[in-house]
Amino acid sequence: MTSFSLPALTLATSCPKDADVVVFGVAESAGSPVLVGLPDEVERRAAKQFGQPLLAVARSLGADSKPGSTVVLPGADGRRLIAVGLGNIDVTPEQVRRAAGNGVRTASGLKSERPLRVAICLDAVEPEVVKGAAEGALLGSYAFVKVSGAQAAESIAALTVVSSSGKPEVRGAVETAKTVAAAVCLARDWVNTPANVLYPQTFAEAAQAAVKGTRIDVEVLDEKALERGGYGGLLAVGGGSSRPPRLVRLSYAPRGAKAHLAVVGKGITFDTGGLNLKPSDGMYTMKCDMAGAAAALAATRAIAQLGLKVRVTAYAAMAENMPSGTAYRPSDVLTMYGGTTVENVNSDAEGRLVMADALARAGEDSPDLILDVATLTGACMVALGERVAGLMASDDQAADHVLDAAESAGEAFWQLPIPDGTRKKLDSKVADLRSGGNRYGGALTAAAFLQTFVPGEIPWAHLDIAGPAFNDEGPYDYVPSGGTGMAVRTLVALAQSLQS
């Protein structure tokens, strides 16, 4: 399996003299655009070279304070300057994350004979803002390494984040950003790897390899162990494939842990829809259907590497949903882990079945909070679009806790309800419950189904990342085409919040 390696990133208190590219900001202040972060000396030399103030030159070439705006200017000595729009001058970490991402993405597209040294000069001072700059720069440099291993010629040699603050908290913020960005890129790599290369067995092996050298214990249940344990959801969904299912359990249990978080991820390595076969258009991107598992695993690695004082138990429920003579049928009744029986109404509603097994198992660890992450429903995309994930929870306190973490991480979630009576739509004549309801509120019925498998006393939140896990269109900000690594940052931020 190929993997992307992040460029080196350092923190400096002034712009390195040898930077080939300097990224600086244009922000809106009292209705007018102003330069942000550009070192005086660079500005003076550029003004001299152009014979007019740099802001005027940048403006005449189209530079704007609008987020997403990027303009490349020729600087002195063959150096290039990239003006990126920051939006309002009172920047949030996310504004800076996006601007840095846009700057580095633009830099990596520049023609050059050798890899470029890129300086990010966005006047970041507060630790959270510096962290945003570093994360945005690293995430914006991501490129998937082809399956053949043929790596596109390296375009970025090194990144420097410039901050006038020499505070130790700022150094710490940059180190955290590196660990988090590496985890996001790991999740992206896994999502982008095609399903003939990444399938349950190889995904489980890759997970094991990824956490080697950390204080995480790994347990992998293969198909025989799943049979012995009675994991009827994973076995049914994985039964149509020649590539048998796996359940991966990671355990990070540091001394002095303040809380115990369980994370459960959907790991359908390819979703054909099974016997309820998807049409070609809907099937093409379904290698992304393991993005929840990828996020759960990668975030757990980051949490362990950061040495957070939180116990984390992560489950990745891995199966391939294929139609075949051994595939599970609509109307089959499955006996799930823990004994609940489920009538399968549609073999394309496979995610909730593998999640049910893993959630029931996660409950046995008696964690303080269970979070699940899944590319669960097209209905969630109909409701919220491609860039916002859905969040449903057992109670508003759990929901707010996750929403706060997501906000601080710069990821977009929107709470959806699980209205009274939703569970009633899942009543079955032949089993304890059916796997789906009618055509309305599909994201909500899916959540109600999952909730059945969570012990009532444990707070629970469900993240439906069907839209934002995979970017079907062109890159933007720090988000590439393909796997995005959605939810990794929120999971890490949540663990951070549980420490105090």
Residues lying near ligand BES in the complex (CB under 6 A) are found at 271, 289, 346, 348-351, 375, 377-379, 436, 442, 466
For the bound state, the minimum distance from the C-beta of residue 196 to Zn ion, rounded and expressed in Å, comes to 18
On whether the CB atoms of residues 110 and 125 are closer than 8 A, the answer is no
Q: Which CB sits closer to Mn ion, 289 or 411?
A: 289
Q: Select from 332, 340, 216, 238 the least CA-distant residue to 289.
A: 238
- In 90-222, DSSP assigns E strands to 116-121, 156-162, 216-221
Check: CB of residue 390 under 8 Å from CB of residue 487.
no
Q: Name the catalytic one among 287, 311, 352, 489.
A: 352
What type of residue sits at position 12? Answer: A
Q: Which residue is nearest to Mn ion (CB)?
A: 348
Nearer to Zn ion, 271 or 332 (CB): 271
Q: How far is the CB of 286 from Mn ion (least distance, A)?
A: 8
Residue linked to tokens 């014979």? 51
Contact window for Mn ion (CB under 5 A) among 161-169, 264-272, 294-302, 323-331 = 264-272
Binding window for Mn ion (CB under 5 A); candidates: 42-50, 57-65, 80-88, 345-353:
345-353
Q: Which is nearer to Zn ion, 135 or 271 (CB)?
A: 271
Give the shortest CB-384-to-ligand BES separation in angstroms: 12
Shortest distance, position 378 Cβ to ligand BES, whole Å: 3
Q: How far is the CB of 374 from Zn ion (least distance, A)?
A: 8
Select from 10, 39, 62 the least CA-distant residue to 122.
Answer: 39
278 flagged as catalytic:
yes
* Given 20, 123, 189, 348, the residue binding Mn ion (CB under 5 A): 348
Least Cα distance to 239 among 332, 141, 106 occurs for 332
Binds Mn ion by CB under 5 A, chosen from 223, 271, 343, 464: 271
Indicate the burial class of 378 (C-beta count within 10 angstroms; 0-12, 13-18, 19 or more): middle
Which lies closer to Mn ion via its Cβ, residue 348 or residue 411? 348
**Could you tell me if 234 and 317 are in contact, meaning their C-beta atoms sit under 8 angstroms apart?**
yes
Q: What are phi and psi of 431, to 5 degrees?
A: -150, 175
CB of 433 to ligand BES, least distance (A): 14
- The binder of 377, among ligand BES, Mn ion, Zn ion, none, by C-beta within 5 to 8 A per type, is ligand BES
Query: Per CB under 5 A, does 464 bind Mn ion?
Result: no
Helix extents (H) in 287-432? 291-305, 351-363, 378-384, 396-409
The whole-angstrom separation of Cα 152 and Cα 302 is: 27
- Cβ neighbours of residue 59 closer than 8 Å, sequence gap 6 or more: 33
352 is an active site residue: yes
Q: Which residue is nearest to Zn ion (CB)?
A: 271
Residues 426 and 356: beta-carbon distance below 8 Å: no
341 binds, among Mn ion, Zn ion, ligand BES, none (CB under 5 to 8 A by kind): none
HSE-CB of 20 using CA atoms within 13 angstroms: 17
- Name the active-site residue from 258, 278, 309, 425: 278
Closer of 156 and 198 to ligand BES (Cβ): 198
Closer CB to ligand BES, residue 129 or residue 349?
Answer: 349
Q: Going by C-beta distance under 8 Å and a sequence separation of 6 or more, which residues neighbour residue 307?
A: 254
Q: The tokens of 197 are what?
A: 């290369």
The entry of Mn ion, Zn ion, ligand BES, none near residue 379 (CB within 5 to 8 angstroms by kind) is ligand BES
Q: Which sequence positions are flagged as catalytic?
A: 278, 352
> Would you tell me which residues interact with Mn ion (CB under 5 A)?
271, 348, 350
